[in-house]
Amino acid sequence: MHDYLRRTRTDVVLRRNWRPATYTMAEGWEGFQRENPPALQAARRASSVDIVEENFSEADARHQASRCLRYNINTVFDTSKCVGCNGCVDVCPENLIRLTPLTELLEFPAWAEMLDGADPAEFGAVLMKDESTCLRCAMCASRCPTQAITMQHFDFAWECVSIPAPNPKVNYGTRG
């Protein structure tokens, strides 16, 4: 109706934005052990159809939640600022960041073609990170002396917008 009356087109667009994120983990987070919720006694579980797991107390639930990380926060690398100091490699608790010499990656024929006969040693190394196991603890960002690594928050939302053009799916007919 809106498109018909105003002779516009409504589109659904994705608005996305990266913005700096500042957050820290709870003090001593790396030492918190995951605990299973309380459960019914084994004898009762075996002879019952009751729910096996019970709820954490609020205090215990909050303590367990403090171990959680925010997965809408990501590490963003600005390679133009990186000086190859290996600080991020040393501090990563999961050992998932590596400074890898380009010569180790040259097993693939495509790399050799891209170098166009140049000596691979001239190109140095690349910083490689396994995103699938990253905890997003921000230790690499806090250790980086040049701020080549920052923590960024990714926001996105679907939004309806009006486009000042006739909607091809609307039959406007003739107005008298």
pLDDT tens column, 18-29:
788 776 666 776
User: How many separate domains does the chain show?
Assistant: 1
Between strands 9-20 and 97-101, the pairing is: unpaired
User: At 156, which amino acid appears?
Assistant: F
**Does residue 61 lie within any of the structural domains?**
yes
- DSSP alpha helix (H) spans, 28-169: 42-46, 58-65, 87-91, 102-105, 109-115, 139-143
**Does residue 80 lie within any of the structural domains?**
no
Q: What is the pTM of this model?
A: 0.53
Domain span including residue 30: 26-68
* pLDDT for res 146: 94
pLDDT tens column, 39-71:
888 888 788 887 888 888 899 888 877 766 666
**Does residue 46 lie within any of the structural domains?**
yes
pLDDT at residue 109 greater than cutoff 80: no
pLDDT at residue 176 greater than cutoff 60: no
pLDDT tens column, 124-170:
778 888 888 887 888 898 899 999 999 888 888 888 888 888 888 88
